[in-house]
Structure 1
């Protein structure tokens, strides 16, 4: 039997700690109409689900957490338990769709069955329809979830933007590679010495990064309405921009695409806090940014392989360009400080202690209120090419993140076929202004695009911008 990793199982334990949260992730595919016959959809999805092991497996847990949970085949698997059909009330606009998405995602998945559902949503405006895939986070991280969703399309898993991520591009020699047998004893000794130095350097880098992550988790942030207990109800909203515009902004300011996205998110949160009558201070938006540790050879492996960084997003800065510059500097500093490697080392160490101890520790820690991290911003590389479902073109894909651990909002980003989507999940009672957050993100991208065009037209005067920064 295949066991869940410590990280995979932690999503089950975190869900156990709060009856108001559901740690399922999701994605909505908006598809050109008309919708196919429902029986044809059921037959197609039943066949394709059989090719994805996690779709027909259940989680088997051991009493008292004496061993890690296992994936076992469901002897009573029935596709009818996982496919559902719903229609939007007229006029079938974004508001109706977002309300339906929130209602579906706020309910927990049944652990007695494979941990996924697919909802066929009919009645969208302009004759469109949609599929909402809902998958428990213990099954997969963002990249693995995107691969699973692609396998349910007509063409199966194709090329995705995941090849652009850092972990997939790293191809330096491994320690085992440096120690591979050599005929020349001097070559072997040289390889052993290089391996020792590489291991020592990597370990030191990871230790520094782990210490930095720990310090940030233990440092309370600014009190704000973004933190606190959540209810059992959710709101959902989204902003969609052209990927070409995002790329042009990144070229204009010599930053990464992720920097542009986080700067736009900074703009959205800044305006949200100001509209709420709060002062966005320099420590108001410590943000959990998951980082993929998945190599290119593991794209088809269905599990969680992520670490994390915890940058402060500069909501205290009113100037959009300065926001972008500060985001770029802080993300570069976090990458260089070893936070990514430190988080990975902590997870690896957790996997080497008795499972019962790690499980009980996670349940205890996730029950405690945390006040250091305020938001979640995760970037998921989606398919490069246009997908189809039963011959119909998938026009848009909107990601859906979960919220937990006193984070009242979470944002997932997804690139797909020339579009870049921001999907926002929020607590129903404490974030009634989630649509304003989405508008603020879209306006942030548009503002940076306009400023970038103006800056390209203006000759540089040689005067640099002083940047007030914080760790």
Structure 2
């Protein structure tokens, strides 16, 4: 487990980052008291799950987070420059790794704990990760009282992972190592690292048939890349303003919002209208944006906003592996359509067309192009690529898969988990969704100054689901 070259897309994410545009993923998880401690049958409440001797609290869970994070080999890796390939970089084990530089405890005032945790998450998400260290952080958030956060003693954990370290599925595989059900079993195995494998030049002489096959594959990949590149050019808008409500010069600040949707309600709409649950969620996003823009008094743009919808290029059942394996679909969100059912039908048709073409074709598959560029191009071209994002799409809407089984930390059940995505340059909003415990948890990340009314958008998501549910009954 010595070193590993960054894959092209990982390298692109590493160089896309700037002080005002950190490129880390996040997740804000809320935990409840253990069932026995929370039971009304217990005459005396058990000690809080994060209590420890001495002032400050948070000791037991903080120690548990540190111990389990340190046991995940991937979290010991940092990025270093390499001589070859020129412009490249590699993951290597940080010899001076100290997990306490990455795991922190913050106590919040005794107010609305969930709201306070979300507000603090926004402040923490706007801070770039220190590039000389393994690029991740975890924060244990508790209340001002000894022993817990919420009135019932609950607490929260915020996780930040650089996008170069993980895509959505990879982030889940790494982060899962902190949970009771996975720590020490699958966490270390799925989040491990592999050695760099080099192919000696003599192999080309020893296996000409194999060399010919590799050449054919390379030509096919280049052909697909040219096809994607042409689609990107055709789909780009050379008016850089985009949709006004979703475009803003970066202030360097971040605001985090959350919403909870009932999964069974989403499935009821799906069964009545057809398509997939993801189609329903994308239509809900479109309707919520329409409501939000109306509440702001903004005139709808002549063009509907376009969403970049990431999809995994990992094969079903395959191990997570290392490196980002992403593509995406480009989807026009029918915000101008006043009919919720018509919006859902439009989303379903567009997603069916995307799926028929596949995740490696079309303008949305722009991530595929990263595999065809040399490392030096990523190093010097990333700022240009980051600035051009608003010409292709207005908003990121991503779904993050989670394990279906119940999860806990130190015996404390996971109650809610909100994924968070980074903002592209010139854009003011990103939406991430995950399903857990019969609920869809929506994490909203916005530019703090451009979107001060993020809570209204969160409310609009719930309103849109209620209306769809009523109309499809």
Deviation at 1:51, TM superposition (A): 3.4
| C-alpha distance in 2 between matches for 1:315 and 1:274 | 11
Deviation at 1:351, TM superposition (A): 3.0
| C-alpha distance in 2 between matches for 1:253 and 1:400 | 29
Deviation at 1:273, TM superposition (A): 1.5
From the superposition, tell whether residues 206 and 354 of structure 1 become closer, same or farther in structure 2 (CA, over 3 Å): closer
Name 2:352's counterpart in structure 1.
332
**How many pairs does the alignment contain?**
415
| C-alpha distance in 2 between matches for 1:67 and 1:207 | 23
1:216 aligned residue (219, 222, 235): 235
Asked if 1:156 is matched to 2:182, the reply is: yes
Superposition map of 1:428-467 within 5 A: 428-453=448-473
Alpha-carbon contact 2:314-2:320 (below 8 Å) kept: no
From the superposition, tell whether residues 344 and 402 of structure 1 become closer, same or farther in structure 2 (CA, over 3 Å): closer
Name 2:24's counterpart in structure 1.
24
Name 1:36's counterpart in structure 2.
50
1:45 aligned residue (65, 70, 79): 65
1:133 aligned residue (159, 163, 188): 159
Deviation at 1:380, TM superposition (A): 0.7
User: What does the per-residue CA deviation read over 1:338-397, in whole Å, with 9 as the maximum and x for residues that have no partner?
Assistant: 454456976555434431123212233324573442111001111211101011111111
Name 1:8's counterpart in structure 2.
10
From the superposition, tell whether residues 98 and 334 of structure 1 become closer, same or farther in structure 2 (CA, over 3 Å): same
From the superposition, tell whether residues 122 and 206 of structure 1 become closer, same or farther in structure 2 (CA, over 3 Å): same
* Corresponding residue SS for 1:314: coil
Name 2:109's counterpart in structure 1.
89
From the superposition, tell whether residues 251 and 208 of structure 1 become closer, same or farther in structure 2 (CA, over 3 Å): farther
* Corresponding residue SS for 1:370: helix
Superposition map of 1:50-449 within 5 A: 50-62=70-82, 66-123=86-143, 124-127=149-152, 128-156=154-182, 208=227, 210-218=229-237, 220=239, 222-281=242-301, 283-338=303-358, 340-342=360-362, 347=367, 350-367=370-387, 370-449=390-469
User: What does the per-residue CA deviation read over 1:85-125, in whole Å, with 9 as the maximum and x for residues that have no partner?
Assistant: 11221223432221111011111111111111110011233
User: What does the per-residue CA deviation read over 1:391-416, in whole Å, with 9 as the maximum and x for residues that have no partner?
Assistant: 11111111111112211000000111
* Corresponding residue SS for 1:30: strand
User: What does the per-residue CA deviation read over 1:310-340, in whole Å, with 9 as the maximum and x for residues that have no partner?
Assistant: 1110000111111111111111122223454
| C-alpha distance in 1 between matches for 2:419 and 2:218 | 38
Alpha-carbon contact 1:410-1:425 (below 8 Å) kept: yes
Alpha-carbon contact 2:305-2:335 (below 8 Å) kept: yes
From the superposition, tell whether residues 288 and 443 of structure 1 become closer, same or farther in structure 2 (CA, over 3 Å): same
Q: Which moved more, 1:293-302 or 1:317-326?
A: 293-302
User: What does the per-residue CA deviation read over 1:217-255, in whole Å, with 9 as the maximum and x for residues that have no partner?
Assistant: 345475413112111111110111121221221111111
| C-alpha distance in 1 between matches for 2:443 and 2:311 | 18
| C-alpha distance in 2 between matches for 1:205 and 1:256 | 28
From the superposition, tell whether residues 89 and 289 of structure 1 become closer, same or farther in structure 2 (CA, over 3 Å): same
* Corresponding residue SS for 1:422: strand
TM-score (norm 1): 0.81
| C-alpha distance in 1 between matches for 2:231 and 2:165 | 29
Query: Which runs of 5 or more residues in structure 1 are unaligned?
Result: 160-195, 454-471
From the superposition, tell whether residues 210 and 339 of structure 1 become closer, same or farther in structure 2 (CA, over 3 Å): farther
Name 1:467's counterpart in structure 2.
none
From the superposition, tell whether residues 125 and 243 of structure 1 become closer, same or farther in structure 2 (CA, over 3 Å): same
Alpha-carbon contact 2:227-2:361 (below 8 Å) kept: no
User: What does the per-residue CA deviation read over 1:262-290, in whole Å, with 9 as the maximum and x for residues that have no partner?
Assistant: 11111111112122222224523111111
Alpha-carbon contact 1:281-1:315 (below 8 Å) kept: no
Q: CA RMSD in A?
A: 2.8
From the superposition, tell whether residues 242 and 73 of structure 1 become closer, same or farther in structure 2 (CA, over 3 Å): same
